[in-house]
Amino acid sequence: MPVKKWLVELSKLVFTHVVLIGVPTLVYYCLRLGGWDLFPIRLVIATFFLVSSGMIILETTCALFRRRAQTPPQPEHGIAVQLKRRLGIRDCALPWPSAPVPRSSFLIAAYLPNEQEIILETLLHILEKVQRPPGGLEVILAYNTPHDLPIEEELKLLTYTYPELRLLRVEGSHSKAENLNAGMDLVTGEIVGILDADHQPAPDCFARAWRWLGSGYDVVQGRNVIRNHYLNFLTQNIAIEFEALYGISHPAKSFLTDSCIFGGSNGYWRTGVLQRIRFDPRRMTEDIDATLRTLLNGYRILHDRSIITTELAPVDLGSFWFQRKRWSHGWIEVSFKYQRRVWRSRHLTPWQKLYWTYLLYYSDLYSLVALQILPVFLSLCLYQGFSSEANNAYLWISTLVTIFSGIYQTLATIKIAYLRYPLHYFFSSALAIFGYTIFKNSIAIVGFYDYLHGHNTWVITSRSQPRPTRSQTALAAGYRTN
């Protein structure tokens, strides 16, 4: 990464944190000197933590139940089953359409200068390992490149061996959204699976997705698992974070609201719905934008964590920084664009509107409000005094609930993902969670800064990776669906 670009990012980081931490610290200190009581501020911050922690506990509890697209099991009995039924979770009545899986398509978006080292591996995995639906399979690679590359000749040779592979070079494209929009015009399958160039789906992905799509849903989002988790401490943390995200948070959204987020890849769409929704190349996160437009048009999205794909995590802080900054920028952009439409929607229930308000506005504001705990604490240190509200029961309860929610989610993540990773991943991630969260919040704040200043530059996430050793390959292998 050029030094100049890093200096620009560092200046944004320093500026935003001086504004959000340094200035409030001085203000709070002056207020203390003036005899002001800062308890209301602490109360607001504690309430934000409490609400967020309560949602984590609720989501984690819901996600401990399973809703997987598999053959309906024999009826079960017991307290757990009765509790599921009272919560509306019907494990014994999973969708199972009688019709066979129809013709299906994979639509893969790629920027080849960045992904030329991995695209052949991805295509060979799909062509050789994914189960062919009875209706047939096609694989469309929609890519853009600023100049001709040798890999293009290799791709053409691959089409002779696999006639189901279709290549589409999208001239003039500058984004994933433009590649996908061009590719969906060629799709002939009734189901379209969207994949990034580094994603390797499980063999039975279409069979599992069809059990929902054939039963009334329009989009099914699967579970994304980090394949290169063994490389360093950062990839280990991202792997555990993804297990909490795709194994806990997303399934809980389906349980709680019968809706979910399309995550940009490993999503399976009814072709007609996808062709009506399409993707907006002006958005920083075209997947979240498409999610909101899908829901606002009355279509249904579900998450099934048994539909597995593996992907590559950023391997260095630079790639991680720009990826997460784009995610933050994109969420803020979508929040301001669609929140009013969510409130006015005729297709969403009051509970869905409330939940999506939490996802959009609350999640955006959380990093800004939660950060205020630092200037409150620093001003107290400067003042060198401790006020009586430190012993307030509400503050202690919010602190204990926050700590418990993190422990509870970690234990639940271990339960659903322990077969995939060494146990020490989970403990090291738990120890690093405080610093890791502060770092992500800092990136989110810089993303907010970029949004306010209209900075829309897209930095491509590097996809190259070192070749794994034999033991690392063994760690990365497998499609366990627990």
Q: Which domain holds residue 68?
A: 62-361
In a domain, 391, yes or no: no
Q: Please give the pLDDT value at position 88.
A: 52
Closest CA to 265 of 223, 229, 293: 223
Q: Domain tally for the chain?
A: 1
**pLDDT tens per residue, the chain (482 residues)?**
577 888 888 999 999 989 888 898 999 888 888 888 788 888 888 888 898 899 999 999 888 876 555 555 555 566 666 666 665 555 444 566 778 999 999 999 999 988 999 999 999 999 999 999 999 999 999 999 999 999 999 999 999 999 999 999 999 998 999 999 999 999 999 999 999 999 999 999 999 999 899 988 999 999 999 999 999 999 999 999 999 999 999 988 888 888 999 999 999 999 999 999 999 999 989 999 999 999 999 999 999 988 999 999 999 999 999 999 999 999 999 999 999 999 999 999 999 999 999 888 777 777 788 788 888 888 888 876 555 455 678 888 988 999 999 899 999 999 888 888 988 999 899 889 888 988 998 899 999 889 888 887 777 776 655 554 444 444 454 445 55
Place of tokens 């009581």: 37
Place of tokens 């899986």: 101
CATH number of the structural domain spanning residue 131: 3.90.550.10
In a domain, 390, yes or no: no
CB neighbour list of residue 296: distance below 8 Å, 6 or more residues apart: 338, 341, 342, 345, 347, 348
Q: How far is the CA of 34 from the CAs of 24, 29, 40, 373, in angstroms?
A: 15, 9, 16, 20
Q: Please give the pLDDT value at position 473.
A: 46
**Which residue type sits at 86?**
R
Q: How far apart are the first and last CA of the chain?
A: 38
Alpha-carbon gap, residue 479 to 425, rounded angstroms: 18
Q: Please give the pLDDT value at position 474.
A: 46
Task: Return the C-alpha torsion angle 53, 13, 463, 184, nearest 10.
Answer: 70
Q: Please give the pLDDT value at position 81.
A: 62
Q: Please give the pLDDT value at position 470.
A: 45
User: How are beta strands 191-196 and 104-111 bridged, if at all?
Assistant: parallel
In a domain, 252, yes or no: yes
Helix, coil or strand: residue 140: strand
Compute the Cα dihedral for 29, 35, 37, 41 and give only its sign. negative
Q: Please give the pLDDT value at position 482.
A: 54
Alpha-carbon gap, residue 237 to 241, rounded angstroms: 6
In a domain, 2, yes or no: no
Q: Please give the pLDDT value at position 464.
A: 58
**Which residue type sits at 155?**
L
Q: Please count the other Cβ atoms lying within 10 Å of the Cβ belonging to residue 302.
A: 25
In a domain, 463, yes or no: no
Alpha-carbon gap, residue 347 to 355, rounded angstroms: 14
pTM (2 decimals)? 0.88
In a domain, 347, yes or no: yes
Alpha-carbon gap, residue 383 to 373, rounded angstroms: 15
Q: How far is the CA of 48 from the CAs of 51, 54, 334, in angstroms?
A: 5, 10, 22
Alpha-carbon gap, residue 408 to 60, rounded angstroms: 8
Q: Please give the pLDDT value at position 463.
A: 64
**Which residue type sits at 304?**
D
Closest CA to 126 of 114, 111, 113, 110: 110
Six-digit token string for 7 = 């200096």
Alpha-carbon gap, residue 4 to 176, rounded angstroms: 26
In a domain, 462, yes or no: no
Alpha-carbon gap, residue 216 to 223, rounded angstroms: 20
In a domain, 178, yes or no: yes
Q: Please give the pLDDT value at position 471.
A: 46
Q: How far is the CA of 348 from the CAs of 291, 339, 355, in angstroms?
A: 13, 12, 10
Closest CA to 274 of 141, 176, 184: 184
Place of tokens 């504004």: 19
Task: Return the C-alpha torsion angle 453, 287, 232, 199, nearest 10.
Answer: -150
Alpha-carbon gap, residue 89 to 249, rounded angstroms: 16
DSSP conformational letter for 249:
I
Alpha-carbon gap, residue 365 to 409, rounded angstroms: 22
